[in-house]
Chain A
Amino acid sequence: MMARLVILFHAGKHMRMSRLIKLLGGLSAAALLGGIAHAAGLPTDGNIGLQEAASANMEMVTKLHNTVFAVIFAIFVFVVVLMLYIMVRFREKANPVPSKTSHNTMLEVIWTAAPVMVVLFFLAIATRPLYTLDVIPEADMTIKVVGNQWNWDYSYPDHGDFEFNSMPMSEEDAKAAGKPVLFAATDPLVVPAGKTIRVIVTASDVLHAFAVPAFAVKIDAVPGRLNETWFKVDKPGTYYGQCSEICGQLHYNMPIEVKVVTPAQFDAWVLTRNPEFVKTQSSTTIEARNTEN
């Protein structure tokens, strides 16, 4: 719903809305609405923070970023205020006779030790999130992603290994479907909500990177190498990402659309893609198999 509204707002762009109004609109939206005008799974024009989190991992990343940002902003303000004070207090007119001081051991020890403390603090808060993102928990299912110039192949090895190709949707089709241009794909990746999903990523030609900002997912697709990452999204919805490693002329038009649906809807969707598979097995038995392991 929110995504739709944002798209409607931007439809005005093509209607020769005065640029100034647009700029002011974007800025005030950022300043006044703050987090309100978010569309989950999409960037928001004029917003100055990270995209809204759709997974616990992204919430963790956002929290870490906000803490780090608070510290670096404080450091920045401290340095700038100190510099401005010095610039005014010790300007030529106010202080015609310069001092000759060129050493102060205590001071030098302090400004070496203080950054060390800050660094240790950063290490303390940034290490656990690193391992949480990187060490993949027991997964409910696996999807395989292959990057090609300039589209994605998605396959479902746990569901009979069916495979399909996801192309960028043309501007006309996307608009007709009410989907965001350059984000919408012809055949989105579909995953069940609330399940831990392992993503195996590789590429068939040059480097690509599979990225969905709302999930805190970004991993290079490298020919000849299997990379893996994971995500778990609880709220059904549609989330978007874009190829994030330069891959040639249509690099900008290699969207990633992920539809998160309820497990029941997912099972039904799998049935449409691979009727033979669901006759013998179902998602629940896969779960059972995984827990046995």
Chain B
Amino acid sequence: MVALHGDAEIHGHSDKPPFFKRWFFSTNHKDIGTLYLWFGMVAGLLGGFLSFMMRMELKEPGIQVFSSEHTFLVFTSMHGLIMIFFLVMPALIGGFGNWFMPLMIGAPDMAFPRMNNLSFWLLPVAFIMIILSFFVPGSAGGNGFGGGWVMYPPLSTSGHPGPAFDLILMGLLAAGFSSIFGAINFITTIFNMRAPGMTLHKMPLFAWSILVTAFLLLLSLPVLAAALFMLFFDRNAGTGFFNPAMGGDPEMFQHLFWFFGHPEVYIMILPAFGLVSHVISTFSKKPIFGYLGMAYAMVSIGVVGFLVWAHHMYTVGMDVDLKLYFMVATLVIAVPTGIKIFSWLATMWGGSIQYTIPMMWAIAFIFLFVIGGVTGVVLSMPAIDVALHDTYYVVAHFHYVLSMGAVFGLFCGFYYWFGKIFGVMYNNVLAHIHFWLFFIGVNVVFMPQHFLGLQGMPRRYIDYPVEFATYNAISSYGAYITLAGVAFFFIMLAEAFIKRRPAPDNYWGEYATTLEWTLSSPPPYHQFNKLPQIK
């Protein structure tokens, strides 16, 4: 393997294309992964800015920051869409998936490198359309689309006659096709390009998580695409799929949307599950506990994830027996999720735990995911959901699993592979400050929102009665702390790129066992010209 690595490196340096060709016509999985990561970072900044403005508005009762109520709703809706489609999915799946899935399975590249390029470049196109939507008429209230990220008709059809929402539909369709192409690429690569000897049951858990995620994408996104097309036709072609006056039904859209939307939740969290497993194992200096259980827990979460969608719709007026079914199915997910949590703890048990930066993020991930998980159990029961549906409790719940679960997973992977991706090491002190500010900040933001929700504060309100003042104020102060954390993230980045401390090939030591650690940092432009042999 050593000989192979030397050989590849010499070979690799010589055929790096010039700048424009390398980054704009790229077919190299690592370069495309890097593009995804930078793209996610830019989109995340915009999405974060939107949420920060919302928190400033909500710091006290009254309307003070926004000049129009509609603009606040535009910020709310776009925050959701941007964070999901343009930060978490591109960074976790497109970024880390592209970078490390081929390295981990010992493949020289993705199966369809040109389609990989298309997958990436559809995203900026989509993003430009999303951004343009801010500046064109949406509803009577002003520019932009303010119908929530869920885009429920009739608010998204007759409620938003302007072109803003058409731009969003086109943008989301482009982003959706980007993900479908990506999913096809991931599945084909994993099934056909594993190194000799790497059976599915020897495949690293991150590759497993990408495989399950890719299937979820492939099966759920076409349903979203259909629903988006139906909205588009209802708006522009005179159809009435969701228009009751023409025999349609607005609730049908909700079923279609959540049939995509619930798997989407797992699409965002599964890659984080995968990479957190590697981080926990590396820094506990132990192999992952219950490897097969971990892999099949992800598979079963993926399967059951398709059977629970209407738990987002308990108040639409559904049949009571259906509600019972969706409660049962939803609660079932607690079982594989429990297996994952306990297996991570068991991996740490008996280990020799090193508190490196990625390990801090991984442990925080478990902590926050447990909180988000148990509040999910509360929400799964229709009899409690009647009190909590569409309140801040739901907001707190899904931010604990996404804003903190998925995003902590994102930072965990980013710090774990930072040296491998960029070839330079970050400063530990700056990274620690980033971690602690972020960890404290998001908890201060979202913990009080549980209490607001229990007291009944509905979501998507620009102004609220004074009875909700205290926890909204605390939540907004948390936004300042989180913002400081984000600032330190960029200070950390700048420092690392200015100082350029070279990263060794395997800077985590002998317990980082996956194949990417057998290569240089950054890996050669083309790796595994001679395929590695797995015992």
Contact = CB atoms under 8 A, between A and B. Distances in A.
A22 B350 CA distance: 47
Interface of B: 60-61, 68-70, 73, 139, 141, 146-148, 152, 154-155, 158-159, 244-245, 249-251, 284-291, 293, 315-317, 320, 323-324, 327-328, 331-332, 334-335, 338-339, 341-343, 345-346, 348-355, 363, 366-367, 370-371, 374-375, 377-378, 381-384, 386-387, 389-391, 450-451, 454-471, 473-474
Interface of A: 6, 10, 13, 19, 22-23, 26-27, 30, 42-51, 58, 60-61, 64-65, 68-69, 72-73, 75-76, 79-80, 82-83, 86-87, 90-92, 95-104, 107-108, 111-112, 114-116, 118-119, 122-123, 126-127, 129-135, 149, 180-183, 205-207, 209, 211, 213, 216-220, 222-225, 227-228, 241-253
A91 B355 CA distance: 8
A132 B378 CA distance: 18
B335 A112 contact: yes
B348 A90 contact: yes
Given A90-B350, A213-B456, 5 more contacts: A43-B456, A64-B383, A207-B250, A219-B317, A222-B250
Contacts, number: 308
Contact of B458 (A64, A107, A206, A242): A242
A23 B470 contact: yes
Nearest to B350: A99
B465 A43 contact: yes
B154 A223 contact: yes
B463 A87 contact: no
B152 A252 contact: no
B339 A108 contact: yes
B317 A251 contact: no
A126 B69 contact: no
B158 A205 contact: yes
9 contacts: A23-B470, A64-B383, A90-B284, A102-B286, A104-B346, A181-B466, A213-B456, A251-B73, A252-B460
Contact of B245 (A27, A217, A222, A224): A224
B339 A99 contact: no
B339 A112 contact: yes
Nearest to A182: B465
Nearest to B511: A98
Contacts of B390: 209, 211, 218, 244-245
Given A90-B284, A181-B466, A248-B155, A115 B338 contact: yes
Given A95-B351, A123-B331, A249-B70, A213 B387 contact: yes
Given A90-B353, A222-B317, A249-B139, A206 B155 contact: yes
B250 A107 contact: no
Nearest to B73: A249
A-B pairs, 5 with minimum CB distance = A224-B244, A26-B470, A99-B350, A227-B317, A129-B383
Contact of A181 (B147, B343, B465): B465
